[in-house]
Structure 1
Amino acid sequence: MLICALFLYSMENFEDILKLVTGNLAREEKEKVLSEINAKKGNREIFRKVKIAWAIFSSGSKQLSDYDEENLFLKIKDEISGKKKSLTISVHTVLKYAAVIIFMISLTTIFYLNKQNSNPETTDESLYTSVVTENGQRSKVILPDSSFVWLNSGTTLSYPNNFSSQNRKILLNGQAFFQVYHKENSPFLVQANSLIVTVRGTKFDVDAYPDNDAVTVVLESGKVDLSHQGIESFNYTMQPGEKASFNIAANSLNIGHVDTVIYSSWKDGKLIFRNEPMKNVVEKLKKWYNIDIEVADTEVYSSIFSGTIQNESYEEIFRLIGAVCHVNCNLIHNYEKEAKPKIIISNK
């Protein structure tokens, strides 16, 4: 009962989704897997639940080793194939191996398990509220401490139900702009992948989509401290106007000075591109308009694009991109139920 609802979906694809969310999928495979996810609503729902589960799971655990990940997958596979007639889950096992899967199926289920297997003092710690924006959507959230958060398309924000002046921790998967309410001696923490942003009162943007190679933080005002969940010596204090890019695979940090408006304008309904590589443009527009984009010729990625998008339709934008970047942008309407429009970009 616990697992069965998931498993009309193929095990191979599920393993790819798990690897994508946990940052263990090869770069060349990411686009293929994301295309498969976007092809069906059911796939997107599974992906959404995996992202929520991983955000919560990773907040209190070290990243899975190859051995742990393989064992997690084998446990699930055995459950689906019926090799195990029953499943007994201890608290330790839930936290270390099964949290992702259980959470995906039902928030209610994991809450029930926590109540049955946890001490009363720690139960509240494991309960989270999640806010999700689908591709093509944006939203604004007011947190219990009066901080404001704007969520970009395809983003999941999770925070504990006991969120308070003494426990201000946010789990982010996607992109969000934060305007944090200052509270003396009460830091506000944002965890994005393995990067932790600690603030007291400030405005900043965090870009941490699971298909990104890096987590990016852009500080508009105030100060934030960057640290790493698994590297004790890793720390950096950002100044206003700085952009910090943390490469997930290399565990390296790159700092630069930028125009912060370019990185936060999306919350006001605008996308600003300044000499942006076409690959980045494609990924942003997929989420912004909730459309499929296929790049038929890899040479297209050598193009760069500058422009501002506000109220234009995707048809208008791709006509502009075609003219400015000297590429062909062909629109294909798919009239099947729940199907998304598709743009095919190729060289002229």
Structure 2
Amino acid sequence: MHTEEKHNDIDELISLYISGTLDEPSFARLKQWSLESEVNRVYVRNRLEVWFSSGVSGDGASFNKNEAFDLFRQRIAKAEEKQKQVRRFSWKVLYRVAAVILILLLPLGAYWQGKETVKHTFADMTVEAPLGARTKLHLPDGTLVWLNAGSKIVYSQGFGVDDRKLSLEGEGYFEVMRNEKVPFEVKTKEVNLKVLGTKFNFRNYPDDAEVTVNLLEGKVALHNEIRPMQELYLVPNERMVLDKLTGKMTKSHVKAENASVWINDELFFDEELLEDIAKKLMRSYDVEIEVADSLKNKRFYGSFKIMGNTIDEVLQTIASTNRMKYRHEDEKYILY
């Protein structure tokens, strides 16, 4: 068998393993091949890293994240049952697939060395949502993330091995997979958030005047990075707003689910600054909007469907409150 054909065959086995359809004889074959050489072991590890991080599988096989994650937990549970008498060996139940394969394929004595190799060879992964669009993804730990237009997250390929930290720029809706041993953390320049398992919406675009976090389920801890203060905790249907200029952090009761309606192609303004509303509209419709200084501190309330409503229709509705006017000139909307 030629090298390329051999690797294609191994690729198929790896993809079937991730999708949950690899039978025992084939798994034994994959294990044997990986143990034949260091090159083979690295090949398997790298293939799993690329596929699991990108959320796709090889040609001719269907990748199902939920099935793969369930299979992963089942196999780890069986392995832990067999290894109960080995006190010196303890596996973390939520290791990523790359780390799991190392556990399954390497001799026990080489496991810790393999784990460290994986951790130090991980690169950062960046996922972005372009202007005028939204992006949906699942993180390696099973957490669901929606990114609003003009947003991005950055996380290590080792996400879930020893920590679950990511950085956010823009707006994201998160449904966090619970893991009491490894907290989930979102880091931004002004506010850091830590949870175990919950649903929340976090908005912090670089050009916004405020940072907002709306909690739908669970509990979150918020750390102010602008000025010293005790951590602020939110419970469901509470919202935190941080003023980026002063560092003042305030909490209020809200209907938190309204903050994440954008994942359903809707816009919702809950007494938001017109300047921030304009930025939302620019990202959603990929247009340029200028707000007069006299209007920047005005707040508005409203709800709109993005699909089926043009930018002119949205602005006309806001203008109907008689609190602003707008015009379109030089390929730019001017609010005054």
TM-score when normalising by structure 1: 0.57
Find the counterpart in structure 1 of residue 319 from structure 2: 322
Find the counterpart in structure 1 of residue 274 from structure 2: 278
Find the counterpart in structure 2 of residue 244 from structure 1: 240
Find the counterpart in structure 1 of residue 176 from structure 2: 180
Find the counterpart in structure 2 of residue 162 from structure 1: 158
Identify which of 134, 139, 149 aligns with 1:138: 134
Equivalent residue letter for 2:202: V
Does the 8 Å CA contact 2:226/2:247 hold for their aligned counterparts? no
Find the counterpart in structure 2 of residue 128 from structure 1: 124
Question: Structure 1 residue 275: deviation in Å?
Answer: 3.9
Identify which of 250, 255, 261 aligns with 1:254: 250
The alignment partner of 2:258 has SS state of helix
Does the 8 Å CA contact 2:267/2:303 hold for their aligned counterparts? yes
Equivalent residue letter for 2:293: T
Structure 1 Cα separation of the partners of residues 229 and 296 of structure 2: 37
Find the counterpart in structure 2 of residue 306 from structure 1: 301
Structure 1 Cα separation of the partners of residues 186 and 317 of structure 2: 37
Find the counterpart in structure 1 of residue 283 from structure 2: 287
Question: Structure 1 residue 320: deviation in Å?
Answer: 2.0
Most deviating of 246-255 and 194-203 = 246-255
Q: 1:298 to 1:142 in 2, by over 3 A?
A: same
Structure 1 Cα separation of the partners of residues 249 and 131 of structure 2: 28
Does the 8 Å CA contact 1:158/1:172 hold for their aligned counterparts? yes
1:342 aligns with 2:332: yes
The alignment partner of 1:204 has SS state of strand
The alignment partner of 1:324 has SS state of coil
The alignment partner of 2:252 has SS state of strand
Structure 2 Cα separation of the partners of residues 228 and 345 of structure 1: 33
Does the 8 Å CA contact 1:304/1:325 hold for their aligned counterparts? no
Find the counterpart in structure 1 of residue 328 from structure 2: 331
Structure 2 Cα separation of the partners of residues 207 and 179 of structure 1: 15
Equivalent residue letter for 1:172: L
The alignment partner of 2:269 has SS state of strand
The alignment partner of 1:317 has SS state of helix
Within a 5 Å distance, the mapping from 1:95-134 to structure 2 comes to 123-124=120-121, 127-134=123-130
The alignment partner of 1:325 has SS state of coil
Find the counterpart in structure 2 of residue 34 from structure 1: none
Structure 2 Cα separation of the partners of residues 213 and 329 of structure 1: 22
Identity percentage of aligned residues: 28
Identify which of 211, 218, 225 aligns with 1:215: 211
How many residues matched? Answer: 219
Q: 1:192 to 1:308 in 2, by over 3 A?
A: same
Equivalent residue letter for 2:133: Q
Question: Structure 1 residue 231: deviation in Å?
Answer: 7.1
Structure 1 Cα separation of the partners of residues 235 and 319 of structure 2: 38
Question: Structure 1 residue 155: deviation in Å?
Answer: 0.5
Does the 8 Å CA contact 1:293/1:343 hold for their aligned counterparts? yes
Does the 8 Å CA contact 1:303/1:325 hold for their aligned counterparts? no
Structure 2 Cα separation of the partners of residues 282 and 133 of structure 1: 18
Q: 1:164 to 1:300 in 2, by over 3 A?
A: closer
Structure 2 Cα separation of the partners of residues 327 and 163 of structure 1: 46
Does the 8 Å CA contact 2:209/2:276 hold for their aligned counterparts? no
The alignment partner of 2:208 has SS state of coil
The C-alpha deviation readout for 1:254-284, integer Å capped at 9, x for no partner, is 1111111221111111111244442232122
Point out the structure with max Rg over C-alpha.
Answer: 2
The C-alpha deviation readout for 1:207-239, integer Å capped at 9, x for no partner, is 111112332211111011122468786312211
Identify which of 220, 223, 236 aligns with 1:224: 220
Find the counterpart in structure 1 of residue 200 from structure 2: 204
Does the 8 Å CA contact 2:160/2:182 hold for their aligned counterparts? no
Aligned-CA RMSD value: 2.6
The alignment partner of 2:320 has SS state of helix
Structure 1 Cα separation of the partners of residues 169 and 129 of structure 2: 11
Q: 1:273 to 1:122 in 2, by over 3 A?
A: closer
Within a 5 Å distance, the mapping from 1:23-38 to structure 2 comes to none
Does the 8 Å CA contact 1:329/1:343 hold for their aligned counterparts? yes
Structure 1 Cα separation of the partners of residues 139 and 207 of structure 2: 27
TM-score when normalising by structure 2: 0.59
Question: Structure 1 residue 200: deviation in Å?
Answer: 0.8
Question: Structure 1 residue 317: deviation in Å?
Answer: 1.3
Structure 1 Cα separation of the partners of residues 118 and 317 of structure 2: 58
Structure 2 Cα separation of the partners of residues 323 and 120 of structure 1: 61
Q: 1:218 to 1:166 in 2, by over 3 A?
A: same
Q: 1:268 to 1:210 in 2, by over 3 A?
A: same
Equivalent residue letter for 2:332: K
